[in-house]
Amino acid sequence: MQVYLVGGAVRDALLGRPVRERDYVVVGGTADALLSAGYTPVGRDFPVFLHPESKSEYALARRERKTGPGYHGFVTDFSPDITLGEDLQRRDLTINAIAQAGDGTLIDPYGGQADLAARVLRHVSPAFSEDPVRILRVARFAARFAPLGFTVHESTLALMRQMVQAGEAAALVPERVWQETERALGESRPEVFFEVLRACGALAVIFPEVDRLFGVPQPPQWHPEIDTGLHVMLYLQRAVALVAPVTVRFAVLAHDLGKGTTPQAEWPKHVMHESRGLPLVDALCSRLKVPAAHRDLARMTCAQHTNVHRALQLRPETVLKLLGECDAFRRPERFSEMLLACQCDAQGRTGLEESPYPQRAYLERARELAAAVVLTEEQRAGLEGQAIARALQARRQAALEEHKRAAAERSALR
Ligand code: ATP
Ligand code: MG
């Protein structure tokens, strides 16, 4: 029985990046041999075992044969005569198909080291096209490694394009699309994930609402880059620069979907794109089974981003209404996340990355001030039900009047 380190650990070590998890492949072994050596079985679809001490994953070498569409249509063979070369051959990318023996020797039959040096993401073999998840994985690796200069090889992109044309992207299950998207949003160049999907045609299949934004113009005085799809990509970059969490990055992705349905005659204006966007956000989220936390923040950002941009001009009662609609008193963290998403929107524009966005601090403070207003026993005396609510409302509004006046005074002094 021979054991080799494979996949991400070998790749990341060669790139000089920190290694997080170690996966091993076992050649010439059987499930029984691993079980009697104390390994714990964990694989649901394939025989994978956890090492008794290190808890690293050990998988029996395997060979795959495609029998039907999608990624369930596989027959997998993991008999002990399968060679290391065969196991590496069914892997997605050459840079992920390098094995390392216990003595440090690298086994690299598909040129993974050369592709690491050339900064190329290239498929191992034509068998790549047997699993549509690989389209998502390549796009995600492109998003992760773009800062190092990696790009998808033209032949791999061509293969991905063929797969999409053959209907493979439509066979992806929503859970897997979301899982890969969520991970991609957390990478350092999330926009590259969507660009690669667009380049192979998969974006139109799995994110038609996002795909539709490309080619839609916006007024150049607000958006120097004009194209709405491009704007969303810049906005994602801004979210990374502001260290926004994945929930915010998703809200960033989804907030302008309504611009994809503006009648052409109205271009480059997008009247009511906020309310037109909501059903599109809902459709995308229910199709991909996006978690409620991500969905709710995206809906809120879609509905409110224009109001937030105008925060300093809004009447105090409108600010109060905004706070109420966002449930900001009970959900202050989510409200803050929405303000951050709006900041990414405002600054995710060519040349405007560092422009000030006082709206965020202004509304944060407005929420604090309004939340701090409570009625004393004396003020409540003789009031009931609706009257109490109205009295509270009036005092909060007064606090926000003062807040607005003070902010105007500060900006006049500047
Ligand atoms: P990460 O740093 O994200 O863990 P990784 O390369 O280790 O990257 P894993 O998802 O942990 O990726 O998978 C481990 C290895 O298994 C990959 O390097 C690749 O060789 C192989 N692999 C995983 N999924 C697929 C797939 N769908 N098709 C082909 N090979 C795959
Ligand atoms: Mg891994």
The pLDDT of residue 74:
74
Cα 95 to averaged position of ligand 2 atoms, centre (Å)? 12
The pLDDT of residue 383:
85
What pairing do the DSSP bridges indicate for beta strands 40-41 and 48-50? antiparallel
- Closest residue by Cα to atom 5, ligand 1, is 8
Q: Which of the ligands is closest to the CA of residue 17?
A: 1
The phi, psi pair for 333, rounded to 5°, reads -70, -40
Cα 91 to averaged position of ligand 2 atoms, centre (Å)? 12
Quick check: pTM over 0.85?
yes
Question: How far is the C-alpha of 82 from the C-alpha of 96, rounded, in Å?
Answer: 19
Is any atom of ligand 1 closer than 6 Å to the C-beta of 7? yes
Q: If 0-12 CB within 10 Å is exposed, 13-18 middle and 19+ buried, where does residue 328 land? A: buried
The pLDDT of residue 136:
98
Q: Ligand 1, residue 137: give the atom nearest the CA.
A: 27
Measuring CA to CA, how many Å separate 140 from each of 183, 264, 271? 8, 33, 34
Q: For the beta carbon of residue 319, count every other beta carbon within 10 angstroms.
A: 25
Cα 407 to averaged position of ligand 1 atoms, centre (Å)? 53
Decide: 200 and 164 in contact? Cβ < 8 Å. yes
Q: Ligand 1, residue 21: give the atom nearest the CA.
A: 4
Decide: 100 and 134 in contact? Cβ < 8 Å. no
The pLDDT of residue 224:
67
CA 339 from chain centre, in angstroms, equals 18
Cα 113 to averaged position of ligand 1 atoms, centre (Å)? 16
* Amino acid at site 278: L
The phi, psi pair for 262, rounded to 5°, reads -65, 130
Return the best residue to mutate from 92, 128, 134 for the ligand 1 pocket (most ligand atoms within 8 A of CB): 92
Nearest residue to 263 via CA among 275, 253, 255, 271:
271
106 pairs with which residues across the strands?
100
Cα 123 to averaged position of ligand 1 atoms, centre (Å)? 13
Helix 190-200 vs helix 174-185: angle between axes, to the nearest 10 degrees?
Answer: 130
The pLDDT of residue 277:
95
CA atoms within 13 A of residue 411's CA, in its CB half-sphere: 12
The pLDDT of residue 154:
98
Per-residue pLDDT of the chain (414 residues), as tens digits, is 999 999 999 999 999 999 999 999 999 999 999 999 999 999 777 789 999 999 999 999 999 887 776 656 678 888 999 999 999 999 999 999 999 999 999 999 999 999 999 999 999 999 999 999 999 999 999 999 999 999 999 999 999 999 999 999 999 999 999 999 999 999 999 999 999 999 999 999 999 999 999 999 888 777 666 789 998 999 999 999 999 999 999 999 999 999 999 999 999 888 899 999 999 999 999 999 999 999 999 999 999 999 999 999 999 999 999 999 999 999 999 999 999 999 999 998 878 888 999 999 999 999 999 999 988 888 888 888 889 999 999 999 999 999 999 999 988 877
Question: How far is the C-alpha of 390 from the C-alpha of 362, rounded, in Å?
Answer: 24
